[in-house]
Amino acid sequence: MTMQNITPVLLCGGCGTRLWPLSRTSYPKQFAAIFGDESLFQRTARRSSDVRFAAPLVITHADFRFIVTEQLVATGIDPGPILLEPEGRNTGPAVLAAALHLGATDPDQLMLILPSDQVMPDAAAFRAAVTEGEAAALAGDLVVFGITPDRAETGFGYLETAVDSGLGRVRSFIEKPQIAQAEQMLASGGYLWNAGMILCTPRAMIAAFGAHAPQLVAPVRAALTGARADLGFLRLAAGPWAEAEAISIDYAVMEHARNLSVVRYAGRWSDLGSWEAVWREASPDAAGVATIGPAQALGCRDTLLHAEDEGQVLIGIGLEGVIVVATPDAVLVADRSRAQDVRRAVDVLRLTGAPQADSFALRHRAWGTVETLVSGEGFMVQRVILHPGGTLGVQGLPGRVETWQLVSGVARALQGGSWHRIEPRQSVEITSPGFVQIENGGDLPVVWIVVQIGDDPGAQGICGHQTAENSAETAPCLMG
């Protein structure tokens, strides 16, 4: 059967704390290039960008809006609607919002709900599985995709089914069992892991919420009705969105629905839900050792060594069953059997007020990025990259002097009522109460080194908008 025009729905609003310190609230795992040069989000978008698919609908947290557009542009994919969540409410409200949005245009079209943090390298197998489930989805089923389990995993949902290949019915849905039940289901052979993908029509999904999670329908519908356009985004209304229960699609609907069909997926799959999963996906050698980045293992067994920065050197000696992950500002050392407990480390860091719990030194803004290189008492040094077409303003603050040294590219600055062309090795000095507007009118990024000296380095001083045609946006951005 020829695949219909299917709209991929890319869910990318989660935080992925079990992959800390690589994944943090400010820049979670789906946007990280864990394997190769593309992020998990980019790979998800690419495998669902065949000519048989429509432009993707993306639903994400408002804080990630520019990361999403930047990464899609880098892959050459033009997005469809981008729905912005004012706050995370888990996957249940997100899926319902996508279904209501698409259903307003055509309730009987096909939508393919895709988590953005999975590894599925065989795009042909992925598309074949989607084709296999098309007829059942058009007939009103919620079609899920099952993976043959190879271990008693407690981090996944399970599908009870008799299907050996192709399409079959789901007898029951079990979400994240205890270890004893997982071992029993693995031994029985009649269960598949739930891959988290759903193929259905908006009509079928909306009806499922109406039957099994009706408490979500009114607030999510109100959030969509009250949404406002902002540049290329659609911001869901914050008030009603906050009233929606924070619940996963699995607990809200899938555990209760009876119109479930399943396609057994034959390709390689991983959800990268923990460092244990990353170790498996990193192709360990005969000794069970996997290294990522500038890392070396000497006499180690069953160990993952991951160094994130090319300026680092990570050496493991005599380690067994250990995970070591080094980023420029944090190091994780854990027993592999405790990989699921990494989120507890994040909780501890939050209690102590450590910024590494949620934030990186590199922060993404509408106009580019700002990265703190070094800071101390009374000073801070940062790297600021201004995207092509980007504009930002810098307000001088009392008791502080800022020097903006241009490293590469050509910019222009409005200071004292006059525009000045700024070339590499030239600088702009900003003091209180001065204000400077900086623009990048070229085709290449402009790179600055910013030195702040004086009171309260890192305090708010920058605001900006991304492009000339988007000059209405004036969201404030923190330097620190």
Tens of pLDDT, residues 99-108? 999 999 999 9
Q: Compute the distance between CA of residue 121 and CA of residue 268 in angstroms, rounded to an integer.
A: 7
Helices 91-103 and 202-212, packing angle to 10 deg: 130
463 contacts 474 by C-beta, under 8 angstroms = yes
Whether 337 shows a pLDDT value over 60: the answer reads yes
Whether 479 shows a pLDDT value over 80: the answer reads no
Give a yes or no: residue 285 inside a domain.
yes
125 contacts 280 by C-beta, under 8 angstroms = no
7 contacts 49 by C-beta, under 8 angstroms = no
> Do 163 and 181 reside in the same domain of the chain?
yes
Tens of pLDDT, residues 401-430? 999 999 999 999 999 899 999 999 999 999
Domain termination residue (choose one: 264, 292, 319): 264
> Do 165 and 90 reside in the same domain of the chain?
yes
Q: Which pLDDT score is estimated for 459?
A: 58
> Do 132 and 239 reside in the same domain of the chain?
yes
Whether 473 shows a pLDDT value over 50: the answer reads no
Q: Which pLDDT score is estimated for 4?
A: 60
> Do 157 and 250 reside in the same domain of the chain?
yes
Tens of pLDDT, residues 124-157? 999 999 999 999 999 999 999 999 998 888 888 8
Cis peptide before 476 (omega within 30 of 0): no
> Do 44 and 136 reside in the same domain of the chain?
yes
Residue 457 banded pLDDT, cuts 50, 70, 90:
low
> Do 395 and 259 reside in the same domain of the chain?
no
Q: Which pLDDT score is estimated for 156?
A: 86
Residue 466 banded pLDDT, cuts 50, 70, 90:
very low
Q: Compute the distance between CA of residue 155 and CA of residue 67 in angstroms, rounded to an integer.
A: 28
Whether 3 shows a pLDDT value over 60: the answer reads no
> Do 199 and 288 reside in the same domain of the chain?
no
Residue 189 CB neighbours (<10 A): 9
Tell me phi and psi for residue 199, to 5 degrees: -110, 125
Whether 456 shows a pLDDT value over 80: the answer reads no
pTM of the prediction? 0.84
Domain count, the chain: 3
> Do 340 and 409 reside in the same domain of the chain?
no
Give a yes or no: residue 1 inside a domain.
no
Average pLDDT, the chain: 90
Tens of pLDDT, residues 57-79? 999 999 898 899 889 988 999 88
Contacts of 40 (CB under 8 A, 6+ apart): 29, 30, 31, 32, 34, 116, 117, 118, 119, 272
Give a yes or no: residue 420 inside a domain.
yes
Domain termination residue (choose one: 355, 379, 395): 355
Range of 244's domain? 6-264
Contacts of 239 (CB under 8 A, 6+ apart): 223, 226
Q: Compute the distance between CA of residue 5 and CA of residue 201 in angstroms, rounded to an integer.
A: 12
**For residues 15 and 325, which has the higher predicted lDDT (pLDDT)?**
325
* CATH code of the domain containing 148: 3.90.550.10
196 contacts 251 by C-beta, under 8 angstroms = no
Which segments of 79-190 are extended strands (E)?
82-85, 110-115, 142-147, 158-160, 167-169, 172-174
